[in-house]
A and B are shown apart, each in its own frame.
Chain A
Amino acid sequence: DVKVTQSSRYLVKRTGEKVFLECVQDMDHENMFWYRQDPGLGLRLIYFSYDVKMKEKGDIPEGYSVSREKKERFSLILESASTNQTSMYLCASSSGLYNSPLHFGNGTRLTVT
């Protein structure tokens, strides 16, 4: 069974801090994704990557960056956290096939104070 592991379940940070959210998958998937989930807005794509060192902006990339140095690991970086980045962050992975479903981690609930 595919396992997508996010390093933290809950995180509290202060405004202006640099925040790293880590995600690891164990199925050798090519594609990895970062979404944020907010009530009434569903899931919105922040960034995704379809190969090591490759990254593509999603729908709401502002204020975020990503890093994919190894195939199994995809990091989301908040350069300077702001209160409007308080949210649930979901990592997902999928194989290289266009019709492959996404497998999600349990999420990281980030609170920025």
Chain B
Amino acid sequence: AQSVSQHNHHVILSEAASLELGCNYSYGGTVNLFWYVQYPGQHLQLLLKYFSGDPLVKGIKGFEAEFIKSKFSFNLRKPSVQWSDTAEYFCAVNARNNQGGKLIFGQGTELSVKP
């Protein structure tokens, strides 16, 4: 069965610090990978996604993620965080050929950015 693991439960950073959130998945086949963000009091929004091609994908608000197939990883990065990046971040995966497009999510990482 597919699973997704996010290593950090809660990350606290100061503004302008660099961010890297870890995500590893387990699945032997071809996958699609996603990062979602949930700002306080808001619904989950897509941050970025990877399907194929360049393993370094760029998303909204300066976020990027790198797919490393050999490590089954899809880590999220941002060079310089802002207070407004305070949110919960979820990594998700689905198998390329699964019917219905269901996503399996990680446990989430809560990011707190101090002004």
- With A99-B51, A101-B46, A106-B43 known as contacts, the answer to whether A42 contacts B101 (CB < 8 A) is no
Chain A proximity mask over B77-115: 1 for CB below 8 Å, otherwise 0: 000000000000010101011111111111110000000
B7 in contact (CB, < 8 A):
no
Fill in one digit per residue for A73-96: 1 if any B CB lies within 8 Å of its CB, else 0.
Answer: 000000000000000001010101
Which chain B residues have a beta carbon within 8 Å of chain A's beta carbons?
4, 6, 9, 32, 34, 36, 42-46, 49, 51, 90, 92, 94, 96-108
Closest to A97 in B: B101
| CB-CB under 8 A for A48 and B100, given A43-B90, A98-B32, A101-B46 | yes
Set of chain A residues within 8 Å of B42, measured between Cβ atoms:
106
Closest A residue to B97 by beta carbon equals A98
Q: List 20 interface pairs A-B (beta carbons < 8 Å), by A numbering.
A: A31-B101, A33-B102, A42-B4, A42-B90, A42-B106, A42-B107, A45-B103, A94-B101, A97-B101, A98-B32, A98-B97, A99-B101, A100-B101, A101-B49, A102-B46, A102-B103, A104-B43, A104-B45, A106-B42, A107-B43
A43: min CB distance to chain B, Å? 4
Q: Which residues of B contact A104 (CB under 8 A)?
A: 43-45
Q: Which residues does chain A contribute within 8 Å of B4, judged by CB atoms?
A: 42
Number of A-B contacts (CB under 8 A): 69
Tell me, yes or no, whether A58 is within 8 Å of chain B by CB: yes
Whether the pair A48, B90 counts as a contact (CB closer than 8 A) is no
Instruction: Give the Cβ gap from A51 to chain B, nearest Cβ, in Å.
Output: 9
Which chain B residues border A4 with CB–CB below 8 Å?
43
B36 proximity list for chain A (CB < 8 A): 102
Taking a contact as CB atoms under 8 Å apart, the answer to whether B105 and A43 are in contact is: yes
- Interface status of A50 (Cβ within 8 A of chain B): yes
Query: Which residue of the partner chain A has the closest CB to B2?
Result: A59
List residues of A (31-66) whose CB comes within 8 Å of B's CBs: 31, 33, 35, 40-45, 48-50, 56, 58-59
